[in-house]
Amino acid sequence: MKLALQYARSVVFIGQMYLALALFATLGLPIALLGGRRGTLAVMHGYCRWVMWTAGWMVGLRCETRGTPPTGDVLVAAKHQSFLDILMIFAAVPRGRYIMKKELKYTPFIGWYAYLSGCIPVDRGKKGAAIRAMLQAVMADKAGGQLIIFAQGTRVAPGVHAPYKVGAGVLYNEMQVDCVPVAVNVGVFWPRRGMLRKPGVAVVEFLPTIPAGIDTRSFMERLEEDIEVASDRLMIDAGFDVRNPRLPKGNA
């Protein structure tokens, strides 16, 4: 009975989330068009916070941001487990823009605001060509802010190990900026598939900055270790059974 009630709450929550997306996107369009990037970000931040707030009282999923979100021009390399971590990371930074899969730019509402906010679409199927196109677009764009990339290139379910993609390393090397890693446990409560949203505390944690100037290989090794160690810790704290959790090298 309890599970059925939580499932029903989840269905209602998801329904209102998509209705709110349509309302925020449509009613906020004049603000986005007239207010430029600042107006666009205001509408997007409003929607992100709406979803986080309603998740708390509708399905018992409280959203918590830890660490220090960056405010300057940096690369943000994050673990990605669900739609919710996209919103939580974006809500935490003042001028965020995502490296996103190309298909999303054709999606109603999401595509509009991705374009207006300066997100950079990437054709993930072309690999080498996609990396070159992404780098060209990033280097040509002088908007600044927090450029967010998912370090593994896609959503990865809790407990699943997936390689870290070279895209974050290429951007770090070419942009010559600091990188802020982000760990998450959000997939424990908001799975990639299915309608059930579980109660608990969804966390995104901004980790200590990796300074610019490290060679690419060392950067990638540190990025993966920092994110995996912290994400495993967050998932264990949330009650998820992480088999063979990643430990810091000094404690392995």
What span, in angstroms and rounded, lies between the C-alpha atoms of 83 and 63?
Answer: 13
3-state SS class at 96: strand
Asked whether residue 134 is domain-assigned, the answer is yes
Asked whether residue 16 is domain-assigned, the answer is no
Global pTM value:
0.95
Parent domain of 162: 62-251
| pLDDT bucket at 209, cuts 50 / 70 / 90 | very high
Asked whether residue 78 is domain-assigned, the answer is yes
Structural domains counted in the chain: 1
Of the CA atoms within 13 Å of residue 26, those in its CB half-sphere come to 7
For 163, list phi and psi in degrees, rounded to 5.
-70, 155
Specify whether the CB–CB gap between 91 and 49 falls below 8 A.
Answer: yes
Asked whether residue 149 is domain-assigned, the answer is yes
Q: Is the pLDDT of residue 111 over 90?
A: yes
**Nearest CA among 134, 156, 157 for reference residue 147:** 134
Asked whether residue 223 is domain-assigned, the answer is yes
Asked whether residue 246 is domain-assigned, the answer is yes
Asked whether residue 91 is domain-assigned, the answer is yes
Instruction: Kindly report, residue by residue over 78-109, the tens digit of the pLDDT.
Output: 999 999 999 999 999 999 999 998 888 888 99
Instruction: Kindly report, residue by residue over 125-150, the tens digit of the pLDDT.
Output: 667 777 888 888 888 887 889 999 99
Asked whether residue 15 is domain-assigned, the answer is no
